[in-house]
Amino acid sequence: MNTISNNSKKLKQAIWTVSIVIPIAVAVLFTIKIEGVDLSFLPPVYASLNGLTAIGLIVAIMAIKKKNRTLHQRAIQVCLLFSILFLLLYVLYHMTSDSTPYGGGGGLKYVYFSLLISHILLSLIVIPIVLFSYLFAWQGDFDRHKKWTRFAFPLWLYVAVSGVLVYFMISPYY
């Protein structure tokens, strides 16, 4: 029992560490500029990963409602993989390219920045919520998993969908 408790404590500490380190690492990596590397093809790729994450999340929720735990688990694992790939490609792009200013005006400018800011802030918040939700399922604590996914699912889905919308709104200005 003590070993399980210690492992659980270590996993929870790891989740908090990852949840803090990722945003700090991304912020630090944004200050690094690699010259001479053209990764301008990446924005539609990482936007597609966000779209695939959103689709995967919908598949996962439909699967669990149909009590197909295996499909649900695999869909979530694929969504985690897509999210990790998104983050890596996003950081690589921004390390090799200048940020693109939004060129639209009027009310769309406010929509764009509202989406962008909410996307960024919620992407920070969703990291520990998703990881704890996953941990609880992995541990077989489905009551806690279900409670946490009430927040994790809509937040993660919003981050994925808003990422796609932000891409479509900024893409004419690349």
Domain residues for the domain of 98 are: 2-173
CATH number, domain with residue 125: 1.20.120
Per-residue pLDDT of the chain (174 residues; tens, 9 = 90+): 566 677 889 999 999 999 999 999 999 998 999 999 999 999 999 999 999 999 999 999 999 999 999 999 999 999 999 999 999 999 999 999 988 999 988 999 999 999 999 999 999 999 999 999 999 999 999 999 999 999 999 999 999 999 999 999 999 998
Total number of domains constituting the chain: 1
Cβ–Cβ under 8 Å, residues 129 and 154? no
This prediction has a pTM of 0.92
Q: Which residues contact 170 (CB under 8 A, 6 or more apart)?
A: 43, 100, 102, 112
